[in-house]
Structure 1
Amino acid sequence: MASTQRPALLVVAGGTAPAAAAGTERVIGHLRTQRPGTAVVHHGLREVAQGVVHRRIRFGSPGSEETDDAEVLELAHGCVSCTLREDVLPLLAGLARTSGVTQIVLQLDPVLEPEQVCWAVLHVLVDGVVVADLVDLRGVISVVDVETWLDDATCDDDVAERGLALLPGDERTLAQLVVGQAEFADLLVYAGESEPWRQARTDAVLDRLVPLAVRLRLDQLDRTLLLDDLPDGARRGRPDNPHAPLLHGQPALAADLGVRLVVFSARRPFHPERLHRALDALLVGVVRARGRIWLATRPDSVLWIESAGGGLRIGHVGDWLAAGGADDWDRAHPEQRAAAALRWHSRWGDRAQEIAVLVHDADPTDIEAALHGALLDDDELAASEAAWHTYPDPFGWWHTEPCDDIGTEPAGNGPTHDRSAPDQEEKK
């Protein structure tokens, strides 16, 4: 049950489609009536690029001594990180200390992914403390339109093309947004109606994308919305460690209505140029790809790869334990140490390729062939590691697809691509 000492914090995401936006308001209304002393916080970001944020705070149950305060904020820097640091987090901290507040509902702008916000709640200091020490973070509720979600999750439209807030430097696809909103949810609420085939395929995708999430329809709203009864292993707003198991919640590996999970693994490095060419296989007919990769040009570095629809990001998330010493092993996250111990290789240590690909309209054999073809061949593997460092490397320390078709340089010359959105780069 929720803590009686600290107010509960629930994060509500979604609303990119009209049915989901309406469903989000119904969820908010239900949460307000379920628990007296609920405060609802919403920051509208449609003008954030101009440094303007529309803040709304609702307190109390609808129709019974409720207050509804709206205010226009002008921030010095128009970005999501600044909005979080300068207003959202201090506001949450203040509400957590306010007498009579038993629950805080943080309603996200439709353009936001909940993982970034929850990370800030858990890690960013506000007057010397993190907000997570002042509240009981219960988890994330995401509202999806079952008629449009699968199409949105597999398209390559930019976020801005759908009329959502234009964040500075934001190059995400709509697929990256809606998949991120659903993937991080503890509870998925279905809004709208869909014909049976589309509903069944959406279910098959979500069964594999977020197997531990509770799912219900708008007409099934009940105490589950308080997130008191979740399966063991529910994330409750906690981001995964980059070395956590990729198949969170043990989703089914068998195919269902053309939807299936493909897990690619290998114990030799990727050739960077060939991997760059192979990435196209992860952008068509794929809902989500995510995992850890090992480049021949960077034998010490763990790179995280993540795609949705037509968008992909690759970023540096630390080093392999084989690259360090005993102190690095002691400091490593327990999940990284456990994974390293299970797969330790006499030559490579814990270095490995591991990518999980959720396919909805692609041939898994083509994906596996493309990734296998990007690995070093036997002759390259037999060459010295000094030779590997001479390979052209099109990846910077943060890389997005689609990328500019520019020349490549050896990895030692530093990043050649860096087109990530500043607010998204903090995610990993």
Structure 2
Amino acid sequence: MDTDSRTPLIMVAGIDPQQVIDVAEALWQQDPQGTALVHHDLRAVAEGVVSRNTRHGEHADVHVLELAHGCVSCTLREDMLPLLRRLAQAPDVRRIVVRLDTALEPETICWALRHVEVDGRPLITDVSVEAVLATVDRATFLADASGDEELVERGVGGSPDDERTVAQVAVGQVEFADALVLAGEDEDRWQRSRLEAVLARLTPAAPRGRLADLDRLLAEIPESARRGEVDGPHGRLLRGQPSLETDAGVSTVLFEERRPFHPQRLHEAIDVLLEGVIRARGRVWVATQPDEALWIESAGSGLAVGQAGPWLAALDDWSDVADERRFRAELTWDDYYGDRAQELVVIAHEADPGEITRALRRAVLTDDELAAGREAWGAYEDPFAEFHRDPCEPAGDRGLDESEMGGNQ
């Protein structure tokens, strides 16, 4: 018997604000008396304010918030999380629907639900993530997901200095979703095939359908869906077992290698992840940093690189290591490298998969460089040696230089 007494929460994200509104409204209409609808509007964030909109039954409330010391992340954490707790504890609230602003990614909000404490405990003790939904415009998604336009250029930046691209947000929203709500029309059958091939690789287990199919989509979310679970940097890269076959010109490249990367050659090779590629993500090790894993993530021409924490081979104590990571490391352990390895997954829609693999292969150490040893490696110039992080914006589980609530990348 299910004894979970937490309040179910559904999160809706998307690049097109009207499409997100349509889905959130449809969810609210299913039970307007028992559903609380929450939205933090960031359109006026450049003027230093955030508008919080809440609707429950016959009551609608609009509250203007001043930015907490100029930080969107802090403002949302300090307002959204306590608000969700109050709603979850209200006896007449049976479900919460969070309509995310275009600039927000559901993964960062879900991380906060699990890790940011309010009154001594995280919000996940009061709410359960029933589903994360993302809207996809069939006519524009491929262009959005492969472009170089910044959010601020489109007028939807999470903060005045938000440097993220539309592609980074659009891809992140879809990749984290449990179900996809499709809108708009394809230009032709070829575009439809390419879009479906991309979506099937970004989130292979997520059911897809139109707004009219909303009930079916929620019912078809598989038991294995993440439902807000955030993978760490050493988690699964092929969640949902996407196809590795090429379909409609869309391919998945899995690059695996034990040898370390030469930092300068890796820096030069990264360009292959930014041209004709929808998504690249994974963990790598460079010869100059044998103890620390790096996380590399790109969408379109937007790139994020950050520290992903130590390799197990550099740790004496594994007591705090997740069982799944420990088990995987034990299965693949190498006497020389330990658990250190290159693991990158690249979804290409226009790039040559072979050229991606060749460029990355050329970046690993040669036989002579490998034989020279760590002392020689330490003398290499390392473009990845320093990372900046705003103290207001904790990078959370992945260790990336990014905001938990939509800040800089």
TM range (shorter): over 0.9
Give the one of 189, 197, 202 matched to 2:195.
Answer: 202
Give the one of 125, 146, 156 matched to 1:154.
Answer: 146
Q: Distance in 1 between matches of 2:241 and 2:388?
A: 29
Give the one of 117, 128, 147 matched to 2:120.
Answer: 128
Deviation at 1:358, TM superposition (A): 0.3
Equivalent pair of 1:42/1:55 in contact (CA under 8 Å) = yes
Equivalent pair of 1:305/1:313 in contact (CA under 8 Å) = yes
For residues 93-242 of structure 1, what are the structure 2 equivalents within 5 Å? 93-195=85-187, 196-222=189-215, 224-225=217-218, 229-242=220-233
Query: In the alignment, which residue of structure 2 is the partner of 1:320?
Result: 311
**Change in CA separation of 1:158 and 1:427 when aligned onto 2, cut-off 3 Å:** closer
For residues 16-415 of structure 1, what are the structure 2 equivalents within 5 Å? 16-17=15-16, 21-35=17-31, 36-60=33-57, 66-195=58-187, 196-222=189-215, 224-225=217-218, 229-325=220-316, 327=317, 329-398=318-387
Q: Distance in 2 between matches of 1:267 and 1:399?
A: 28
Q: Distance in 2 between matches of 1:40 and 1:52?
A: 20
Equivalent pair of 1:272/1:295 in contact (CA under 8 Å) = yes
Q: Distance in 2 between matches of 1:159 and 1:151?
A: 14
Deviation at 1:169, TM superposition (A): 3.4
Q: Distance in 2 between matches of 1:74 and 1:126?
A: 20
Q: Distance in 1 between matches of 2:244 and 2:93?
A: 44
Q: Distance in 2 between matches of 1:420 and 1:50?
A: 25
Matched letter for residue 7 of structure 2: P
Number of aligned residue pairs: give it.
397
Equivalent pair of 1:290/1:306 in contact (CA under 8 Å) = yes
Query: In the alignment, which residue of structure 2 is the partner of 1:8?
Result: 8
1:218-277 CA-partner distances (Å, limit 9, x unpaired) = 23222544xx54213210011112222211111111100100100001110000000000
Equivalent pair of 2:280/2:345 in contact (CA under 8 Å) = yes
Which 5+ residue runs of structure 1 have no aligned equivalent?
61-65, 401-418
Q: What's the TM-score, normalizing by structure 2?
A: 0.92
Higher mean alpha-carbon deviation, 391-400 vs 260-269, is at 391-400
Asked which structure has the greater RCO (Cα within 8 Å, sep 6+), the reply is 2
Q: Distance in 2 between matches of 1:168 and 1:248?
A: 34
Deviation at 1:2, TM superposition (A): 8.1
Higher mean alpha-carbon deviation, 241-250 vs 251-260, is at 241-250
**Change in CA separation of 1:157 and 1:2 when aligned onto 2, cut-off 3 Å:** farther
**Change in CA separation of 1:2 and 1:216 when aligned onto 2, cut-off 3 Å:** farther
**Change in CA separation of 1:3 and 1:148 when aligned onto 2, cut-off 3 Å:** farther
Q: Distance in 2 between matches of 1:269 and 1:308?
A: 24
Equivalent pair of 2:281/2:297 in contact (CA under 8 Å) = yes
Give the secondary-structure state (helix, strand or coil) at the position aligned to 2:368: helix
Q: Distance in 2 between matches of 1:423 and 1:234?
A: 22
Q: Distance in 1 between matches of 2:80 and 2:331?
A: 42
Matched letter for residue 59 of structure 1: H
**Change in CA separation of 1:310 and 1:172 when aligned onto 2, cut-off 3 Å:** same
1:35-75 CA-partner distances (Å, limit 9, x unpaired) = 34100000001222443101100112xxxxx2221121113
Matched letter for residue 292 of structure 1: R
Give the secondary-structure state (helix, strand or coil) at the position aligned to 2:319: helix
Which 5+ residue runs of structure 2 have no aligned equivalent?
390-399
Q: Distance in 2 between matches of 1:88 and 1:285?
A: 37
Equivalent pair of 2:162/2:407 in contact (CA under 8 Å) = no
Equivalent pair of 1:321/1:350 in contact (CA under 8 Å) = yes
Q: Distance in 1 between matches of 2:240 and 2:158?
A: 34
**Change in CA separation of 1:140 and 1:108 when aligned onto 2, cut-off 3 Å:** same
Matched letter for residue 6 of structure 1: R
Deviation at 1:29, TM superposition (A): 2.0
Q: Distance in 2 between matches of 1:426 and 1:382?
A: 42
Identity of aligned residues (%): 53
Q: Distance in 2 between matches of 1:108 and 1:240?
A: 20
Matched letter for residue 150 of structure 1: L
1:60-116 CA-partner distances (Å, limit 9, x unpaired) = 2xxxxx222112111332323212221000100111111200001111100111100
Runs of 4+ in 1 over 4 A off after TM superposition: 1-4, 419-428
Q: What's the TM-score, normalizing by structure 1?
A: 0.88
